[in-house]
Structure 1
């Protein structure tokens, strides 16, 4: 019978879900893992939706549908989830650091262990792209295309550098109130935009802007106010201030960078990006309770847990997956005598492009799964340097509180 394997598959999946559930310690806050997973999906889908590699005169360059279709600006509000990463990162790092000190562990030892787990999966990405870059140059690929592809792959790594810096500074910043870095952002933007200060001054907001949600997470970790009223205040207050800044202070409406735009809310972060992030943090804190209830179900929790086990690989390789599909499709179309493929190589200036890009998302996901199969092994390394078992057997790894998902960033 063709459908006889299905019950066996369902039983195996159900068995895996129950093993993951049984291996999870009762004290683990599953909702934090879920917030991390949602943030990862937001970053991946956001990049896949608003990044277009356009083929033009034998080269590839980046364009964004947000630059051609400004009515899509609200899409950036959904998929720009970096503040949630830093909120959860600050919360988990503060807890982990406090636990390490309680065990008598040195700060330097604690920091080094986390930085190793953060950067180890980066090595194969850099190695692969070094070889690919040399190969493209040797094959005569135009420098503009090589630069465009390399920038797409490497630009998300700024997130890891900022995260690494904040992680290393956790012993110093864990007790800093988030209002202090917020004040820095306010003053930098006031000088930069209000008094026509130098644009370079804005880069002070790169650490200060992301310190705001990071310190907010640390505040929650040490027992700070986590009332529904406080969370609603963050959500509504942050959204209101962001709306006022966009409507009356000249800040861009998009919460991600748009190629060719004179000002980006993200590069470096502006006050609008920070207040928007505070609104996201308020919403995330309000979701903790509902998420905890949903994740009592083994199937729901297993999906979240397994995604977090490969979170770092997903973050590092999702751009490569998109590039592989785009360039592979361009080569195949050229050999078949076909022009650029809509939604893949064409200018993103019509609703047709959006519909076509949605159709390409499953292909991107398939390419990402191949990257996971090839490179996830570099993420499955324990603190002692021994390889962890394959995902089906990794459920017991969830049991270790010192291998929380903050080591697997996106």
Structure 2
């Protein structure tokens, strides 16, 4: 489809990719045990007052919103989009499969291998529901154009509500939850949702729903799973997650006119151009830094990398390591881009290509869905 891309949607994509990176880097603790093995832990367990931070970093709703918008505007055939998505994912899987096999032969503890494999694979869970929604874009667009987004959103909300009451099936619940922001993105692409009133309604409705769910209905306050809690808002996604997405989308719609009047900032352009390598390799940067420093320290735990995330001191130490993670991620993106720090041609997460260098879609991921809202962390 021809035409200029929405600069505000580019900003939404940048926020989404920044959220996934910072979210994972800040809440993925890796504790080095006496046997040299690495296990995951979460600072949210010791710092429950940090739950509001997760409302900012859990931006999956923005990812599906931007994805629906981009897919509704794309004219590229679905099989070609899926092929362009699959190739870089296959490359990541092949490289890490070989690395884990070599590590196992070298005698690396099994718990470390399990932890690393989980960190590498877990961000990819979103591909299944996203691919399903991509395939439904045509029917969704026609439905939205004829009957409005409520014709899709209201049944999807009913499915999620039933699942929260224990009456849902996992695959259907996951698709239904992310169908809501995805449909809103499709609606925006078709010319709906452009009014300021829509943005205010989504923001106010989302915030009100969050308050009711947490204060009166007992939903967890954290937007991501917390180890040891018996319930998670992401495994599978609950009404809390949908309400958070609505509030975030409301903010995006309210600032959209302001963003569209301004030039795309360089950081937004860079994050959009490098969205796929950043998303695929950000956990690898965390793993590389953690294991390399452990080797250099002779196996002695280093604060912020290998110590238990049990207080503000750990948070401060982890913040100090972020520049190293960023440098390693930049190197990985340069390698993935064939020697260019930011690829000039890359694949959007809807499987298409940008028409201009800044036109790329970014993503947000988090807990892979499970059959129960059992102990989870932002993985």
TM-score for the superposition, normalised by structure 2: 0.86
Closer, same or farther in 2 for the Cα pair 1:225/1:28, shift >3 Å? Answer: closer
Residue 46 (structure 1) aligns with = 23
Deviation per residue, 1:3-49 (Å, 9 max, x gap): xxxxxxxxxxxxxxxxxxxxxx9833222112101110011001100
Q: Indicate the SS of the match to 2:80.
A: helix
Alpha-carbon distance, 1:331 to partner? 1.4
CA positional deviation for 1:363: 0.7
Counterparts of 2:52 and 2:324, CA distance in 1 = 25
Say whether residues 1:138 and 2:138 are aligned partners.
no
| Aligned residue pairs, count | 353
**Cα drift, residue 219 of structure 1:** 0.9
Matching residue of 2:280: 316
Cα contact 1:343–1:357 (8 A) shared by 2 = yes
Change (3 A) 1:353 1:54: same
Alpha-carbon shift at residue 187 of structure 1 (Å):
3.7
Q: Which residue of 2 aligns with 1:148?
A: 115
Structure 1 or 2, whichever has the larger Rg, is: 1
**Partners of 2:152 and 2:52 in 1: CA distance:** 27
Q: 1:71 aligns with which of 49, 61, 71?
A: 49
What is the TM-score normalised by the length of structure 1?
0.80
Deviation at 1:192, TM superposition (A): 4.3
- Residue 64 of structure 2 aligns with which residue? 86
Residue 33 (structure 1) aligned to one of 5, 10, 13: 10
> Are residues 1:362 and 2:326 paired?
no
Change (3 A) 1:227 1:268: same
The whole-number CA distance in structure 2 between the counterparts of 1:51 and 1:392 is 28
SS at match of 2:132: helix
- Contact preservation (8 Å) 1:255, 1:265: yes
Q: Cα deviations across residues 148-196 of structure 1 (Å, max 9, x unaligned)? A: 11011101101122222211221122234544554455444544444x5
SS of structure 2 residue aligned to 1:121: helix
Q: Would the aligned equivalents of 2:345 and 2:354 in 1 still touch at CA under 8 Å? A: no
Question: Which residue in 2 is equivalent to 1:274?
Answer: 242
Residue number among 60, 72, 79 corresponding to 2:38 in the alignment = 60
**What are the superposed Cα offsets for residues 24-78 of structure 1, whole Å, 9 maximum, x if unpaired?**
x983322211210111001100110011011123211111111111011111011
Q: 1:76 to 1:377 in 2, by over 3 A?
A: same
The farther-off stretch of 165-174 and 308-317 is 165-174
- Alpha-carbon separation, structure 1, partners of 2:237 and 2:322: 28
Q: How much has 1:259 moved relative to structure 2?
A: 2.4
Q: Is the 8 A contact 1:181 1:209 kept in 2?
A: no
Q: In structure 2, how many angstroms separate the alpha carbons of the residues matched to 1:259 and 1:52?
A: 12
Aligned counterpart, 1:254: 222
Taking structure 1 as reference, are residues 223 and 132 closer, same or farther at Cα in structure 2, changes over 3 Å only? same
**Is the 8 Å Cα contact of residues 160 and 177 (structure 2) preserved in structure 1?**
no
Where 1:225 maps in the other structure, the secondary structure is coil
| 1:265–1:273 CA contact under 8 A, matched in 2 | yes
Show structure 2 runs of 5+ residues with no match. 347-351, 365-379
What CA RMSD, in Å, does the superposition of the two structures yield over aligned residues?
2.6
What secondary structure is seen at the aligned counterpart in 2 of 1:27? coil
| Counterpart position of 2:125 | 158
User: Does the Cα contact within 8 Å between 1:175 and 1:218 map onto a contact in 2?
Assistant: no
Q: Is the 8 A contact 1:188 1:202 kept in 2?
A: no
User: Which residue of structure 1 aligns with residue 332 of structure 2?
Assistant: 371
1:399 offset after TM fit, Å?
7.4
Give runs of aligned pairs for residues 187-202 of structure 1, distance below 5 A: 187-194=158-165, 196-197=166-167, 201-202=169-170
Q: Which whole-Å CA distance do the structure 2 matches of 1:331 and 1:271 have between them?
A: 44
Q: CA deviation at 1:392?
A: 8.3
Do the aligned residues in 2 keep the contact of 1:91 with 1:220 (CA within 8 Å)?
A: yes
Q: What is the aligned partner in structure 2 of residue 340 from structure 1?
A: 301
